[in-house]
Structure formats: C-alpha cells, structure tokens
Structure 1
C-alpha cells in the first residue's frame, strides 16, 4: 500500500476485515469549527475519530507534543486498531491534518501499513460517496506503540544545527507567517522563522480537488524553495501538524532522510532565548 490511496481504492476496500479508517481532522486555534461534531454528522463508513488535538502529552506545556507510548497505545486500541491493520487516515480540514495522523501512526509503529486518503473527505463527498453519522464504538484493538526517537528533532537539535547547517530546515507555514508579516495565532508568540530555514507553504501542495500534487509538479515545489535533495531535511511548521505534509511529500519523491521538529514554531517562537529571523529566506 502506498502512502497515498485514492478514493476509488478506498471505496473498493470498505468493509474488509483488516481495513481501519481514522478521521484525523484538526483546526487551528480560533477556527469556528468542531471536528468531533462534524465527524458525528458525517464520516466515511466504518471510520473512527482520532481526536488529534488531544492525542498529545497532557503534561507538556507545549501544544500538541507527542504522547507517551502508553497514551498512544491506549488511544489506538480504543479506535480498534490492530497490529495487522491497514490504516487509512483522512481529514476534513484546511490544514490537511491527516498527514500528522499518518506520521504519528508510522512513528509509533501502529498497524501493518498506514496511508493517507488522497483528497480526504472533501473529495469523497464531492464524488457523492456514502457517509454515516454518529460516534462508533469499535471493538478494542491490540496495537502497541513503539516510539522511534531518531525520526523526531528537538529544540536542542535545531539550536545545534544553527552552527553546523548539517540539515536543511523547511517551514510549512504561510509565507506571511514565515516572514513575520502576519501575527501568529497563539498569544504571546514571536513572529518570523528559524534562521536559515526555507519556506514551502503547505497549502501549495494541493490541487483544486484537494488531492496532493505528485511527480515533477511536487518536486518543483521543493526545488523552487532551494531544497538540496542530496542533504538531510528537518520539516517544521506552527505546531508539528503541516510539517508532516512536507515529510510525506518528500517521501513520495523517494527522499527518506527527513525528520520532523515536533515543537516547531510553537516552541521556538515562545522561547525568548531562541534566535528569530524575519523577511524572506536567506
């Protein structure tokens, strides 16, 4: 199973014993939408609600930080996920948050395979495909989380990288947030970007039908931002959500020496001691 699956493919797999569908919708702070209410109103048949904003470490003051292995195991078992499950993650969000759900499932070794539904619920609905309502109670699964820390970068890693520049940093936020022209959505947070990073807004990865760009069209996004495909990459964003889109895009292009800065700008921008840059990329 590829990391992207089509709506046609999923329609043909609905109801198979090993298929598990997970809604990973998430909205930015201040967005007047309720992911759970929307899920209960209409979701892909058989889907479970991930509740991505709460799938985080509750004892960490930084927003949306990765949960413990035990927390991840418990949530995934509640969702009915098994060790042999083929997991399909989708969203109904302008942040395309399914990529974060996909990355987390992969990071913790959940299921036999994990993929993102290309186009998400938006494309599914546009094609007139079926939905169901309510909040399901799936049979408890047996998935067990195993954490892979080498795939995650910390603030300390990023500070060290300021001197070595061994890894490229790609920021998925909007151009206005990256440059510092637009205020951050979280109170008290500085504007700008990590010095030396480059910007590829995550919204540019999607076509009009909500599907993800692929092939040369996708590669061009990275090349136009000055990406060197021969060097390792760290992806970043506001809180580690859209950074996963860049990571998925790079994997589609065959590049796997890519990690994600989980704290992202929510951590960096709130720390008065970290250096900040404004304006365009260097």
Structure 2
C-alpha cells in the first residue's frame, strides 16, 4: 500500500506549516547528492511516497497532540522493561517481528521516528532520545529509517488528537544487520587497536564511574533539547583530537543506551562507518564485579 506523507498532506489541507529554520540540520550533517541521513528535516520528506511517522512517546502524550498522520509506537513496545536493573535494551528480533508487523511497518516504507524535548521526564517511557528507536529499527533491517530533527516541536500549527492506525503487515525481519553488542564484546575491545569506546553521558556521571578505557564525548555538548545538533564543529574537533579515523570501530555507550544511540546516529551522518552500540551500557556493566571500571567511585 502506498502511503503519501500523511503529516505533510494533513498540514497542507489544514493550512498548517512546518518549521524549517529552528531545527535545520548543520551543514556537516547534510548528506551529499540530496540523500537522507539518519537525521532529517521535515521538509526533506515532503512529497515522498510511503512515509510513516512514528511517535515514540507514551499513548497519553500521543493522545494530547501529535504530528497529523503519525502512528504511535511507545518505546516500551520496542525496548525491554527494567530487567535486573538494566533498562531499555532492544528486544530480540523474534520479539520485534510480530510487534512491528502489528503496527503495519514494512521494509518498503520510509520511517521517520520522533520524540520530544528534554523537558519530558527521563524515565523508561520517556519520549527523549529517539535515536535508540532509530537504531532498533535500522539494525532490524529497515533500509530507510530516520530521526526527525526537532521532534514533535518541528511541526508548527495545531497538533492532531486523532489517532492513525495502519493495517497489520506481513513483515518478516529477513534483512537484519546486528550491530548491538554485549559486554563480552566490549570487554574484548578495551585497548584494541583502532577500536574506541565512546561514552555519551554528561561529565558528572562519567567521572563517577565508567568502563575502563572509555572516552567521554557528552552528547549534551553537541545537541540541544530537541535533537538539533548545534555544535557539530566541536564534535568533529574532539574526534580529530582523539585521532579517530572514519573506518575505526566505535562502540557507543552511556547510562541506558539512549544517548549512545543519538551519538551513533550523528557519527553515521558524519561518515563514520564501523559503528556498534552497547545498549546495556553502564547499568549493565556496573553490575558485574569482574569487569574493569574507572572513576571516583572506583578508585584504583
């Protein structure tokens, strides 16, 4: 079934408009030849066929107002709940396949995920950090999945309270490309040549405790509350200072795997090609007494 860009058509029909300046992508994140990167602006997907906007916020937040035509897949349907203190890991392919099919997703769609700003609470059901849902769908084999720069805030005008529900699809996850790694993989990568572990948390959390050998690249330095990356030059300078090549392996991590996913998406748009996500992240690592740790809470 061909789906025109539902949000765009609804906006045109009602005289609403899209914000194009406040959430414009920096030049460094724009892709060559008009291609779409991990991050997109609303006007980049106008007129495309078969576009599905996915609102990752809670059902209550979606009902209060969403981009017209967007479907709602709250993040807890894609991520695991709190399991032994580890929050928000991506569900297995076997679990994801029937869930995503029930929401009408298919490989031939262009999927644009969005959340909302950091004003929302940082809890397991938060609408923040849509990069994690991007990673979950991308590694499940969806060839055209993107993150909306600015999230729901990028839409100007009246938000819709009318739910959109797509018919179930016959999706089979046949094109998976796993790049979410577990702690054993991360452990083997510590000190490995041309392999880097980048922690996207803020400095305060990193300084208290982190994976030994990891490097702090706080995502907050390079993005504002609405996923608009406003200091890409600073990020590039940091990466160059570290000596990271575009082909080097980079494992991103953080506290829960959320900020790490946003960092991974940014790095992909900057041309880094060998990216992995440790989505168990610090909440998983810290629980194993045999794993190497550093920081003020873990004196040598």
TM-score, scaled to structure 2: 0.75
Residue 53 of structure 1 and its aligned partner are, at CA, apart by 2.6
Residue 117 of structure 1 and its aligned partner are, at CA, apart by 0.7
Q: Is the 8 A contact 2:69 2:163 kept in 1?
A: no
Q: Is the 8 A contact 1:154 1:263 kept in 2?
A: yes
Task: Say whether 1:44 aligns with 2:67.
Answer: yes
Task: Say whether 1:82 aligns with 2:115.
Answer: no
Q: Helix, strand or coil for the counterpart of 1:262?
A: coil
Task: Say whether 1:109 aligns with 2:130.
Answer: no
Task: Say whether 1:68 aligns with 2:99.
Answer: no
Task: Say whether 1:216 aligns with 2:244.
Answer: no
- Deviation string 1:2-33 (CA, Å, 9 cap, x unpaired) is 322112334x34xx6501011124xxxxxxxx
Q: Is the 8 A contact 1:41 1:134 kept in 2?
A: no
Q: Note the 1:101-140 alignment, pairs <5 A.
A: 101-110=133-142, 112-124=143-155, 128-140=156-168
2:79 to 36, 42, 56: 56
Residue 177 of structure 1 and its aligned partner are, at CA, apart by 0.5
Structure 1 residues without counterparts, runs of 5 or longer: 26-34, 181-191
Number of the residue aligned with 1:197: 214
Number of the residue aligned with 1:9: 44
Equivalenced residue count is 251
1:229 to 241, 245, 251: 245
Report the Cα distance in structure 2 between the residues aligned to 1:39 and 1:59, rounded to whole angstroms: 23
Report the Cα distance in structure 2 between the residues aligned to 1:75 and 1:215, rounded to whole angstroms: 35
Q: Helix, strand or coil for the counterpart of 2:211?
A: coil
TM-aligned CA distance change 1:18 to 1:142, over 3 Å? farther
Number of the residue aligned with 1:242: 259
Number of the residue aligned with 1:184: none
Report the Cα distance in structure 1 between the residues aligned to 2:279 and 2:243, rounded to whole angstroms: 21
Structure 2 residues without counterparts, runs of 5 or longer: 1-35, 123-127
Q: Is the 8 A contact 2:222 2:234 kept in 1?
A: no
Q: Is the 8 A contact 1:171 1:236 kept in 2?
A: yes
Number of the residue aligned with 1:153: 181
TM-aligned CA distance change 1:209 to 1:56, over 3 Å? closer
- Deviation string 1:116-168 (CA, Å, 9 cap, x unpaired) is 111111232xxx2342114433211233224323x122111122223535511
Q: CA RMSD in A?
A: 2.6
Task: Say whether 1:100 aligns with 2:132.
Answer: yes
Number of the residue aligned with 1:186: none
Number of the residue aligned with 2:274: 257
Residue 258 of structure 1 and its aligned partner are, at CA, apart by 1.2
